Amino acid sequence: MKKTIVITLVIGMMTVFGANAQKAMDKFMVQVDGLGCPFCAYGLEKKFKEFKGIKNVKIDIETGDFSFAYPAEKELTLVAVQEQVEKAGYTPITAKIERADGTIEESEAQLVSEKTEGTVTKNLMVAGNCGMCEARILKAGKSVSGVSEISWDKDTKMMKVSFDAAQTTLSEIEMAIAKAGHDTKNHKADTGTYDQLPGCCHYDRISR
């Protein structure tokens, strides 16, 4: 009988400690540049859902503050977080981790200068629906001097563009695409231009 009680207690303690270990979470706080609307926040959150086990996601569009909790046992790094923000089409400014063991990790990303040298590759949200949209977006992007490569995915609405930062900027590329009738993260197409697009290209617009 005593042996049974002892074994039961040991199993119970192991279960409690195991549960506590699973509950140990690291807290992440990131300052994100470029969040202009609810759709932007949704895109960022969706990208981070790729990190299985993420919890308590909070995004403040006005301030760009983005925070979440992640299992400590997975040892998610600041570099991986910053890279995921960039994959979502945004720029991480600062990042901080409060580890479950009490340690603090911080970093400050260096923003790409508007005019610098070398090829820069960026991911960016561009609204659209179909193959006709894709052709229009790519044509507008390629029309900008300095753009070397550009692609757009109609499912994710993400554009990947490489350009010579000494010749142009991401903002200039966005403006060219907006003039063609497609909303980007930071530039919205004129209503008249949007209305003239074929019916299949009338994507859902979000008020700003």
What separation, in Å, do the N-terminal and C-terminal C-alpha atoms of the chain show?
70
Report yes or no on 1 lying in a domain. no
- Please check whether residues 124 and 182 belong to one and the same domain: yes
Report yes or no on 18 lying in a domain. no
- Please check whether residues 145 and 173 belong to one and the same domain: yes
Determine the pLDDT at residue 45.
Answer: 93
- Please check whether residues 124 and 83 belong to one and the same domain: no
Question: Do residues 24 and 100 touch, judged by C-beta distance below 8 A?
Answer: yes
Q: Using the 3D structure, point to which of 59, 77, 108 is the last residue of a domain.
A: 108
| Cα 77 to the center of its chain, rounded Å | 16
Please give the tally of structural domains in the chain: 2
- Please check whether residues 31 and 92 belong to one and the same domain: yes
- Please check whether residues 145 and 185 belong to one and the same domain: yes
Report yes or no on 71 lying in a domain. yes
- Please check whether residues 35 and 102 belong to one and the same domain: yes
Determine the pLDDT at residue 115.
Answer: 42
Report yes or no on 207 lying in a domain. no
pLDDT tens for the 208 residues of the chain, in order:
544 444 444 445 555 445 444 579 999 999 888 777 788 888 899 999 999 999 999 999 888 899 999 999 999 998 999 899 988 888 888 889 999 999 999 875 544 444 445 788 888 889 999 999 999 999 999 999 999 999 999 888 889 999 998 899 988 999 999 999 999 877 899 999 999 999 999 999 865 5
CA gap 177, 141 in Å, rounded: 6
Q: Using the 3D structure, point to which of 108, 141, 164 is the last residue of a domain.
A: 108
Task: Please state, as a whole number, how many other Cβ atoms lie within 10 Å of the Cβ of residue 31.
Answer: 17
Determine the pLDDT at residue 7.
Answer: 46
CATH, residue 81: 3.30.70.100
Strand 158-164 and strand 55-60: the pairing is: unpaired
Q: What is the pLDDT of residues 184-198, one digit of tens each?
A: 877 899 999 999 999
Q: What are phi and psi of 67, to 5 degrees?
A: -140, 155
Determine the pLDDT at residue 73.
Answer: 94
- Please check whether residues 98 and 153 belong to one and the same domain: no
Q: Using the 3D structure, point to which of 108, 134, 159 is the last residue of a domain.
A: 108
Determine the pLDDT at residue 33.
Answer: 82
Determine the pLDDT at residue 207.
Answer: 58
- Please check whether residues 32 and 72 belong to one and the same domain: yes
> Which domain, by its residues, includes 141?
119-201
pTM of the model: 0.53
Determine the pLDDT at residue 117.
Answer: 57
- Please check whether residues 171 and 146 belong to one and the same domain: yes
- Please check whether residues 82 and 123 belong to one and the same domain: no
